[in-house]
Amino acid sequence: MVTAREAREAAMDASKYVRYTPEQVEALERLYYECPKPSSLRRQQLVRECAVLANVDPKQIKVWFQNRRCREKQRKESGRLQSLNRKLTAMNKLLMEENDRLQKQVSHLVYENGYYRQQTHSAGLATTDTSCESVVTSGQQNLVAAPPPQPPPRDASPAGLMSIAEETLTEFLSKATGTAVEWVQMPGMKPGPDSIGIIAISHGCAGVAARACGLVGMEPAKVAEILKDWPLWLRDCRSMEVVNVLPAGSNGTIELLYMQLYAPTTLAPARDFWLMRYTSILDDGSLVVCERSLSSKQGGPSMPLVQPFIRGEMLPSGFLIRPSDGGGSVIHIVDHLDLEPWSVPEVVRPLYESSAIVAQKMSMAALRYLRQVAHEDTNSVITGWGRQPAALRALSQKLTRLGSSNSTNRSNSL
């Protein structure tokens, strides 16, 4: 058993247990990184080549690699379990929140339903149903909340913008986490263990809206950075330009954006948007990015139309990004648009009236892109994950320059 131990250098004689020197460990680690499972031949070669390993028995090398593999395996398994645990816990939390929201929505609908049913009955008896509609309308919250009773000054002044921004934030949050919109199940989007998230689309509210919740293993700041860069993940985005940036409150930023979309068919002109974007941090550490159109209706400055485009309207929308316990983020996305379907021929109008399309093209595309980026480089170099879309973005910019005059200097949103 105590054979071939004489090969070891002078200092140690019969003590079989020796710790390898830091240099030796370093060398072995380096070799392990190159090849964690060297052959018998390769091991002998190592002993000959590497000076610091000259005095080590090839058998010891073999054992060291075995132990090293074993350690890595154990650590990996433990890490895998822990990360899976964090993910599942976060998913659980998200699902419970969604459950809670759905429960509330059900309660509300059941209540409302009872009211309607009663109305229908009483309408058959007496004709006191003139108040019906108004009462119900005030009782339900399914439409976008009306502006506050005393609208603050609405101009392009910082105070005016701030007022609009805060209102947008409130409305977005109530759509994202509350029952401000009657969300219904996205057709074909069953919740599953490997599904992209929880997807819902609007029902019976003005415009078209979609909502998505999901998890992604990425820091909130990075998620926001990506999501704010529409051309990166929104295929239909032809260009986006940040016209103005101004600070708002503590940690808040208000931006004015101009964005152009591609037209889905040649039968209809493309849409463009003038948007206000408000980025801020909530008390609980969540990052919120919310947006809405700026139009003369809102009292803001009237933005000039750009010729081949039809001006679309974005109703309060945005992203809520909450840091998850496991290091990732919980993301809520709401996209609520009015694509002015009156302006397109009737045959293509469904394209402009479908919430499901918004869900597919915007909300889900955003989640999908984030997932892709997050999985693409798990733990490897963080830089360099914007490579593929770069070409696409260049094309987009080129097209933009050809098509209109104002979309050259992009913001440094990446």
Rule CB under 7 A: is residue 40 a binding residue for DNA?
Answer: yes
For residue 410, CA distances in Å to 258, 293, 396, 402 come to 11, 20, 12, 15
H helices of 35-157, in order, are 40-49, 58-125, 132-139
Give the β-pairing of 310-311 and 271-281.
parallel
Rule CB under 7 A: is residue 351 a binding residue for DNA?
Answer: no
In the complex, least distance from residue 215 CB atom to a second copy, rounded to whole angstroms: 12
Measured from the CB atom, the residue of 3 and 250 that comes closer to DNA is 3
Rule CB under 7 A: is residue 78 a binding residue for DNA?
Answer: no
In the complex, least distance from residue 38 CB atom to DNA, rounded to whole angstroms: 8
Rule CB under 7 A: is residue 408 a binding residue for DNA?
Answer: no
CA distance 252 to 397: 29
Measured from the CB atom, the residue of 123 and 145 that comes closer to a second copy is 123
Rule CB under 7 A: is residue 69 a binding residue for DNA?
Answer: yes
Rule CB under 7 A: is residue 19 a binding residue for DNA?
Answer: yes
Q: Which of 26, 48, 49, 67 binds DNA (CB under 7 A)?
A: 67
Q: 22-52: buried (b, 16+ CB within 10 Å) or exposed (e) per residue? A: eebeebbeebbeeeeebeeeebeebbeebee
In the complex, least distance from residue 187 CB atom to a second copy, rounded to whole angstroms: 10
Rule CB under 7 A: is residue 146 a binding residue for DNA?
Answer: no
Rule CB under 7 A: is residue 16 a binding residue for DNA?
Answer: yes
- Quote the distance between the C-alpha of residue 92 and its chain's center: 18
CA distance 159 to 309: 30
Residues that bind a second copy (CB under 8 A): 1-2, 14-17, 77-78, 81-82, 84-85, 88-89, 91-93, 95-96, 98-100, 102-107, 109-110, 112-114, 116-117, 119-121, 123-124, 129-130, 132-133, 136, 182-185, 190-193, 198, 200, 203-204
**String of DSSP letters for 217-282:** SS-HHHHHHHHH-HHHH-TTEEEEEEEEEEEETTTEEEEEEEEEE--SSTTS--EEEEEEEEEEE-
Rule CB under 7 A: is residue 71 a binding residue for DNA?
Answer: yes
Can you give the binding site for DNA, defined by CB under 7 A?
1-2, 15-20, 25, 37, 39-40, 59-60, 62-71, 73
